[in-house]
Amino acid sequence: MATRPYVIDQMISAKSIAARIEELAAEIRTRFAGTDKLIVVGLLRGSFVFIADLVRELDLPVEVDFLEASSYGDGMRSSREVRILKDLRGEIAGRDVLVVEDIVDTGFTLHHVLHLLRSRNPARMEVCVLLDKPTRREVDIKATWTGFEIPDEFVVGYGIDFAQRNRNLPFIGKVRFTDTGE
Ligand code: IMP
Ligand code: MG
């Protein structure tokens, strides 16, 4: 997809992300200590890098499943209408569930997904998000664990895309347009 010309300015280094994941994993491990029924649910596609690093730090018996919800299309703004594009493969009734998401922005996506998952009666459900843009919130939602709070900037990297690109960057960067518009 053609977009306006832009550059990416690093916001959070790969090293900072790795250090924060160790802290998050330690807290998650404590919270779920002793369970043998934990299932980590990653929201595709943005969380795939985060979830890969997080589960390897968990040191707990875990299953991993994925769900794909869409609210952004190819643009930079939430459509507010959340669709489930790919559902979980497994059942979560009676299970301990850790939902892993890349970013909470308006909150519509997570709100919709958590409502859906809760209706399936998990024993327990906690949420870990890598990034939170609290100033953008429109739906009241709070993750159990948040990696970093960030300002209202459009970010990419570490799994997160702009028009499907830049997911492979090892760091989180913000998109800065270099043309004169806006
Ligand atoms: P929400 O429904 O507005 O909370 O949007 C959350 C979803 O929008 C996340 O799962 C991301 O995939 C996407 N998103 C939000 N902010 C950004 C961003 O800065 N860059 C890329 N994707 C974003
Ligand atoms: Mg997403």
Whether pTM > 0.85 for this model: the answer is yes
Give mean pLDDT, residues 18-31.
98
49 located within any domain: yes
The range of the structural domain enclosing residue 67 comes to 14-150
Marked catalytic residue, from 59, 65, 87, 105: 105
| pLDDT for residue 73 is more than 60 | no
162 located within any domain: no
- d(CA 35, ligand 1 centre) in Å: 31
Which atom of ligand 1 is nearest to 109's Cα? 2
pLDDT at 79: 67
Domains in the chain, number = 1
Closest CA to 74 of 158, 156, 1, 173: 1
* Amino acid identity, position 96: D
9 located within any domain: no
In this predicted model, what pLDDT tens digit does every residue of 126-166 receive, in sequence order? Answer: 999 999 999 999 999 999 999 999 999 999 999 999 999 99
Helices and strands, number each (H, E), in the chain: 3, 9
pLDDT at 157: 98
33 located within any domain: yes
Q: What is the residue-averaged pLDDT of the chain?
A: 94
Residue 44 CA to residue 46 CA, distance in Å, equals: 5
Residue 82 CA to residue 104 CA, distance in Å, equals: 13
CATH code where residue 42 lies:
3.40.50.2020
176 located within any domain: no
Give mean pLDDT, residues 2-23.
95
Residue 134: CB atoms within 10 A of its CB come to: 14
Q: Per-residue confidence at 81, pLDDT binned at 50, 70, 90?
A: confident
Residue 33: CB atoms within 10 A of its CB come to: 8
Cβ(127)–Cβ(110) below 8 Å? yes
Residue 163 CA to residue 140 CA, distance in Å, equals: 27
- The answer to whether 102 is a known catalytic residue is no
* Amino acid identity, position 48: F
In the chain, the percentage of residues whose pLDDT exceeds 70 is: 93
Q: What DSSP state is assigned to residue 134? A: G
Which atom of ligand 1 is nearest to 133's Cα? 16
pLDDT at 167: 98
